[in-house]
Structure 1
Amino acid sequence: MLVTHKGPLVLGIALVDFNHLVGPTIEFSRGDIFDDEEIAKILPFLALPDGAHLTVEDYTYFHLVPASPTPSTVFGISCNRQIRSKDLLVKDADVTRSTVQKAVVVLASKPVFGPIRDRLGVITRTLFAQRDFSDMSILDEFYTSLELSLRGQLTESGLYMGTSLRDLVHTFRQRTLILLKALMLQKKIMFFGHPVEKLCTYQYSLVTLVPGLLQNLDDCGSPPLCSRAQGLSKPTELRTSDSKSMMAYIGLPLDLFGKDAFFQPYLPLQQLDMLKETRSWLCGSTNSIVTQQKEVDLLINLETGIFEFRDPKLERSAGLTPADRKWMDDIVKDVNEGWDDSDPSKAASGIQFKGSDDYLRQKFDEYIQGALSCVKYSNFLAKGQNSGVVIADGSGNPDAVQDFNMLWISEFKKTNAYEVWERVTDSMLFDIVEPRERPSVVADIGLRLSEGIQELKLDQQLAPTREAISRTLTAGSTNFFKAVEAPQAA
């Protein structure tokens, strides 16, 4: 499915050089975006990260925000390499060290890192193979041809290209769910380690666990950006056969990188102040100085495999319940059964669905839907208790609240993401998605539709719950069920 997008996809390309006297600088660029002084100033430090000299080739993913009346996140990817100075056919006067280090950069309006990466790597290696950096014709050709070649890959699968949920789960095992729960709590999460590409792709893989979030990162580059939340409203109808309609009704994607939050896969020292001034973030660093910041709630050290909880309360709130652990045991087993150390991507090739990235996205989608439904159900129970009424025969299970960790639910309700989500979702969400770790109601709806039942008579099926809620609660849910439109009425 093509992702809707207006305007150019490729905003510019650049060549960044590491000058031993003045630091990294932009040596060559194409695209009007480089007229922005702030972007031109910070880009070199993003494109050539700390420790780039440790590898022959590495990739860095990062985000920028241009100065504009309607600013939106720009997605950057760089490929850096180095060459021995003595191997150059043409040597500039400022080449005084034994190696020359440069990075080719692409700036895009969507995070199409996977499709860009392969082309970027080929171009960078070809440029270095020339051994002559005075000839930039290959970069000019790259700029003029890249837009057209990427357009056909602006799809959901194209955006997922380059991420690996299999690798994420294989590496972090049960702790993958801890990462997701911490992310949904909008905590301050930092990844640390080398190589930079792995640092960045782990974060992007984590982001893809939240349905629809990867396609909606326009606000993620800067804490003040919050345009998406302002444009959201509560759906007035539901088409259960339409995945977009279902997602909107459930309130997905969550607005995790909206108001007072940001996501920076690689954060240089020059952006350190962003950590101190922002309530929530997800970022990566290769510099131990950055990891020493007291604002960090959770530090994931990729080199040691250690999760360091700087906020003890987060360790408890994002901790796994027995139901969580059982659920993750099954997920980890499914991934490891098809894992091949010699070729980790083997099962992702489409040969086997179980344990694949698509399979994992589906499973975590179900988990998140169940968790959100449980949040609504806990609100429902609390309102009933406050009214002095115990409601029986509803569609929820009170024990399900414990399955997701009561502390996690209460902490989630304190986030900006919850505030937005609560505003745009129906209080009776749990009547459609069952509040448990294996949500079956959506699957059941799909089964009935496939059998030819086109109209969901939800008012009739859910009458006991509706009658109870209407007697005891006067505020809250809109009468959503009257607005459900059957697919055949389209």
Structure 2
Amino acid sequence: MHQKYSSEAKISFFFNHSQVEYSHPKLNGTGEAGLPDEWHLLPSLALPDGVHNCQKDTIFFLLPSKEEPGKCVFGISCYRQIDSKELLNKSDDVTRASVQKAVCVLSRIPLFGPLKAKLEVITQAYFEQKDFSKVDVLAQMYTNLCDIFDENLTGEYFSNLAHHEISIQELFVRFRHRALLLFKLFLLERKVLFIAPTGLRLGETMLAIVSMFPKLLEEGLYYATIGVNTNDKTKAVNKEKKSSDIVIEEDVGVQMTRDDPLKEKDSCGFPLSLFTQGCSFDPYLSIQSMDYISKTQSCVVGATNALFAVKKDLFDVIVKIEDDGSLVHNHIEFVNDSALERVLALTSADLRFADFVLKKVEEQMKASTSEFDGSDEWIRLQMKNYLLGLVATSRSDLQAAVPHFGVAFVNEWRRTKNHKIWVANKHEDLASVPPGHMFSEQMGVYDVYLRFEHAVNGVEGASKVIGTVNTAGKNLGTSIGETGSRVKAKFTNWWNRKNPAAQEGIEQAEEPQSE
């Protein structure tokens, strides 16, 4: 942040769900307390739904820019609750047993992690004063942030700063092999809901997935919010009505590239145009924003309000993150497209790759070392190589390589906007990337175990299932004379029905010999 663009780099202090109590610099819009029309949802975003149910939370969100139409600004809000009896200076409007307030920072540049770290410290200090009339600490924070962060940050330093405190390691630990499934899901431009009990858990998960795409977190979210993309979609529809009914397929990517607001790409074509032209990304939405979802072409949104999950007709996939205090349970539900689960089923090569990454992460976290292998930066490099191999395979249409990524997945991805824009351009270093999956090899016994582990979401569960199958096979073979091979055949048939990925091209490789 810098003083020269202070009009959209604000610290705002909110009271309850509808009122801006204090802002620095002062808001100068036409709404209540100077709130600009573009930011009418700001109070509902800064204080989370169900605010009375938690003592503190941190929310990441996006808002339309009021100075640069079509772009957005990035918000971080720290909410706290305090017993009104503890206040040293109680204003007349404090009539309840507890007081809920939030301190919010709006920035032109996406520095979610660094701003969160600073904001949480300041918010704690502000509440410890127990006198909300003392706002000097908020004004001082604004000055300090302007001195520390400049809007003209670029290069590797900006990239490292943007990824600070966004943990991909935690994502893999929580979702295990399904972290790769979520990565591939983002590529397909569907309507996806993430729902979690807290905004912080929600934002950390969604931003971690985004950060696995090269340059997307720091450069690819400037046109991502629903408030911007609903307008983009309207323009796109109007433009389509004026155009000819005959569209040449080869020209679609060129046309999309011309309309793509992300003009600056590197030599490989990054960042991808995942969240532009009607495709939105909002790490938090309040219930007041639900109507916007039906107006988007595709969206990835987060919510803490359970009412979002009830509206299943609005989404293709719902990712539920449940926290019971000691364990985090994750569930991915495909709601409106039964074929999508098959499309996204991880192949054996995918599972080997995800398992390779997961094992490196677990090794590093267990050893508590600072080695590069297994670090967040290392994971980002692996995901970049995976993505490059994927697009090279898609472009070449190499029949031997496509099944390793999933034939149905590659075909579905080719229909998306981001794929058409990527392959329509000539990127210098992309042309030299060879097609193929990094973990393509003949299927073996290890792949069977990986398939078990993936299906039951964990090593312990996989061991239990395998043990049960072995025991059942022996008992059946003894009691009714059914041979082990017939038990295996029956179980395999059941397994293939439950796990459609087992039928993918890669799974048609030669089976390992029986012992």
TM range (shorter): 0.7 to 0.9
Structure 2 CA distance for partners of 1:418 and 1:53, relative to 1, 3 Å: same
Amino acid at match of 2:192: I
Q: Do the aligned residues in 1 keep the contact of 2:318 with 2:333 (CA within 8 Å)?
A: yes
1:157 equivalent to 2:160? Answer yes
- Say whether residues 1:261 and 2:279 are aligned partners: yes
Shift of 1:53: 3.0
**Maintained 8 Å contact 1:189/1:299:** yes
Other structure's SS at 1:299 match: strand
Distance 1:68 1:9, change over 3 A: closer
Q: How far has the Cα of 1:330 moved from its partner? A: 1.0
Q: Which residue of 2 aligns with 1:50?
A: 49
In the alignment, is residue 312 of structure 1 matched against residue 312 of structure 2?
A: no
What secondary structure is seen at the aligned counterpart in 1 of 2:82? strand
Structure 1 residues 281 and 131, CA gap change in structure 2 (3 angstroms) = same
2:290 counterpart letter in structure 1: L
The residue that corresponds to 1:363 in the other structure is 382
In structure 1, distance between residues paired with 2:109 and 2:28 = 17
Aligned to 2:208: 205
Partner of 1:26: 20
Mean Cα deviation higher: 153-162 or 109-118: 153-162
Q: CA deviation at 1:110?
A: 1.0
Pairing 1:182–2:185 present = yes
TM-score after normalising by structure 1: 0.75
Over 3 Å counting, the alpha-carbon distance change for 1:230 and 1:25 in structure 2 is farther
Pick closer, same or farther for the CA change 1:37–1:406 going to 2, 3 Å: same
In structure 2, the CA distance between the partners of 1:253 and 1:206, relative to structure 1 (3 Å rule), is same
> Match of 1:190, SS?
strand
> Is 1:434–2:434 an aligned residue pair?
yes
- After superposition, the C-alpha distances for 1:310-332 in whole angstroms (9 at most, x for unaligned) are 12222111111111111111111
Q: CA deviation at 1:73?
A: 0.9
Measure how far apart 1:95 and its partner are: 1.1
Quote how far apart the aligned CAs of 1:230 are. 4.0
**8 Å contact from structure 1 (residues 85, 98) kept in 2:** yes
Partner SS for 1:93: coil
Tell me the distance in 2 between the aligned counterparts of 1:114 and 1:127: 20
Shift of 1:338: 2.4
Q: Deviations over 1:134-185 (max 9, x none)?
A: 1211111112221112237961111001210100011111101110111001
SS of alignment partner, residue 41 of structure 2: helix
Kept in 1, the 8 Å contact 2:27–2:36? The answer is no
Give 3-state SS (helix, strand or coil) of 1:106's partner.
strand
C-alpha displacement of 1:194? 1.9
Aligned residues: 396
Query: Structure 1 residues 435 and 233 mapped into 2: Cα distance closer, same or farther (>3 Å)?
Result: farther
Q: What is the match of residue 250 of structure 2?
A: none
> 1:172 is matched with which residue?
175
1:419 Cα deviation (Å)? Answer: 2.5
Distance 1:9 1:110 in 2: 14
Cα pair distance change 1:68/1:149, threshold 3 Å: closer
Q: Which runs of 5+ in 2 are unaligned?
A: 30-34, 236-255, 323-328, 441-515
One-letter code aligned to 2:271? P
Q: Secondary structure at the match of 1:338?
A: helix
CA distance in 2, matches of 1:166, 1:338: 10
Contact 2:352–2:439 (8 Å) recurs in 1 = no
Corresponding residue for residue 377 of structure 1: 396
Per-residue Cα deviation, 1:421-451 (whole angstroms, up to 9, x for no partner): 232236x9875111112299xxxxxxxxxxx
* Helix, strand or coil at the partner of 2:400: helix
SS at match of 2:216: coil
Q: Could you give the per-residue CA deviations for residues 352-408 of structure 1, whole angstroms, max 9, x where no partner exists?
A: 111110110010000000001111011xxxxxxxxxxxxxxxxxx531111111111
How far apart, CA to CA, are the structure 2 residues paired with 1:220 and 1:80?
Answer: 24
Q: How does 1:389-400 map to 2 (within 5 A)?
A: 397-400=398-401
Q: Is the 8 A contact 2:172 2:358 kept in 1?
A: yes
Is the CA contact 1:331–1:355 (under 8 Å) kept in the aligned structure 2?
Answer: yes
CA distance in 1, matches of 2:371, 2:349: 27
Q: Distance in 1 between matches of 2:189 and 2:138?
A: 39
Aligned partners of 2:143, 2:430: CA distance in 1, in Å?
Answer: 50
User: Structure 1 CA distance, aligned partners of 2:210 and 2:191?
Assistant: 14
Please state if 1:105 is matched with 2:104: yes
Shift in Å, 1:69: 5.6
Maintained 8 Å contact 2:283/2:301: yes
Structure 2 counterpart of 1:118, one-letter code:
A
CA contact (8 A) 2:49 2:287 kept: no
Is 1:292 equivalent to 2:292 in the alignment? no
Q: Quickly say closer, same or farther: Cα 1:10–1:356, change in 2 above 3 A.
A: farther
User: 1:233/1:432 Cα in 2 relative to 1: closer, same or farther (>3 Å)?
Assistant: farther
Once residues 177 and 9 of structure 1 are traced to their aligned partners in structure 2, the CA distance between those partners, rounded to angstroms, is 40
Percent identity, please: 31
Q: 1:144 to 1:430 in 2, by over 3 A?
A: closer
Distance 2:68 2:271 in 1: 25
8 Å contact from structure 2 (residues 11, 23) kept in 1: yes
| Separation in structure 2 between the aligned mates of residue 87 and residue 260 of structure 1, nearest angstrom | 47
CA apart distance, 1:8: 5.7
- SS of the equivalent of 1:101 reads strand
Q: Which residue number corresponds to residue 219 of structure 1?
A: 223
Alignment root-mean-square deviation, CA:
2.8
The amino acid across from 2:187 in the alignment is M
Give the Cα separation in 2 of the matches to 1:179 and 1:313. 16
Alpha carbons of structure 1 residues 225 and 233: separation in structure 2 relative to 1, 3 Å: closer
Amino acid corresponding to residue 309 of structure 2 in structure 1: T
